[in-house]
Amino acid sequence: MLLMADGFEYLDDRLEDGADGVPPVSYPPRRQGYRPSDGYAQPNVWSRFAAVTGLVSGLSGLAFMLHALAPSKLSHLGKVADSAWIGVSLGFAFLTLILVIVARHADTVPRGRRRVGSTGIVLLLCGILFTLGGVLAGNVIPQGVAKQPMPDHAPTASVPSMNQGIDRAVQTCGSGWKDPGLQSYPGVSQAQYCKSNMMGYVVFNNPSFLSMYQPSISGKIKDLIGQYGDKAPKDADWSLLTGGKWLVFGTKDQMLKVQKQWGGTLTPIG
C-alpha cells in the first residue's frame, strides 16, 4: 500500500510539471487542442493578408522574369504588358510591407522563434528580385535565353530548287539566275543572283560559316545591288533573311514573301 501511495504522489508531481508531453494541470486541454506555446502562437489576420499580397507580388515578378528569358516560348505571358507585370509586382510588394508593419504592431502575443509576417517578407523580396531579374534580362538579352526554333524549309540541297522557290515566292527572275562565283570562298556551297529582281542568296556548308560571313556580306549587299541591279532604288528598304545555313537578300517586301515559304529570321540592312 505504501508503494502504491508513493507511486500516485510521483504521478501527481509529473502531471503538475507537464512531463512526458502531457500539458500541466493548470492548462487543461481546450476543444481546439492543447494550449500553444508562446513561441508558436498563431499568426494574426494582418499577417495572413501580408502572405497573400506577397504571393501575388512573387508570382507577378516570376511571370515577368520568365517572359523576359523566353519571350518566344512563353508568348502568352506577353499578352500582358511588361509595365503591368512590374506594376503589380512592386505595388503588391509595397502593400505587403505595410501589412507586415500593421501585423507586428497589432500583435500582442510575444513571439519566440517565429516572427510575425515573415512569410510576407520572404515573398515580397522574391517578387522584387524576380522583377529586377526580368528587367536585367530584357536589357541584356532582348531576344531571351530560350528561343523557339525557327522553321527552315529552304531546299538547300540543289540550286534549281532554291531558284524555283524564290521565283514562286516573289516572281520569276526575268534575267535568269546567275552565279557570282562565290564558291571559291571556303565554306560556300552555292550562290546565285537575280539581276532583274535585285535579289540573291548564298548557301553555306554549315551554320558556322554563315555566322562567320554574315557581317561582311551584310556590309557589301548594297554595293552588290548597285553593281548588278538595274535601276536599284537608293532608298529601298533592304533586308536579310537567314536560316540554318543560308541567307537571302533583297527588299523587305521580297524577304517577307520568302519568309512565309521558307521561314528564317528577317534582319534589316542599315
pLDDT in tens, 140-155: 887 777 666 667 789 9
Kindly report whether the global pTM for this prediction surpasses the value 0.75: no
CA atoms of 34 and 22, how far apart (whole Å): 9
User: Could you tell me what percent of the chain has a pLDDT over 70?
Assistant: 74
Q: Where in the sequence is the domain holding 59, given as residue range(s)? A: 44-140
Q: Are residues 75 and 126 in the same domain?
A: yes
Q: Are residues 207 and 252 in the same domain?
A: yes
The dihedral formed by the CA atoms of 38, 44, 48 and 54, expressed in degrees to the nearest 10: -80
Q: What is the CATH number of the domain that holds 223?
A: 3.30.200
More confident: 147 or 190: 190
Q: Are residues 242 and 193 in the same domain?
A: yes
More confident: 61 or 220: 61
Contact between 39 and 116 under an 8 Å Cβ cutoff? The reply is no
pLDDT digits (tens, 9 = 90+) for 105-141: 887 665 544 577 889 999 999 999 999 999 998 888 8
Give me the pLDDT at residue 138, please.
86
Q: Are residues 202 and 175 in the same domain?
A: yes
Average pLDDT, the chain: 80
More confident: 151 or 256: 256
**Position 240 in a domain:** yes
CA atoms of 197 and 174, how far apart (whole Å): 8
Q: Are residues 95 and 169 in the same domain?
A: no
Contact between 170 and 148 under an 8 Å Cβ cutoff? The reply is no
Model confidence at 41: pLDDT above 70: no
User: Could you tell me what percent of the chain has a pLDDT over 90?
Assistant: 40
Number of domains in the chain: 3
Q: Are residues 188 and 118 in the same domain?
A: no
Give me the pLDDT at residue 142, please.
76
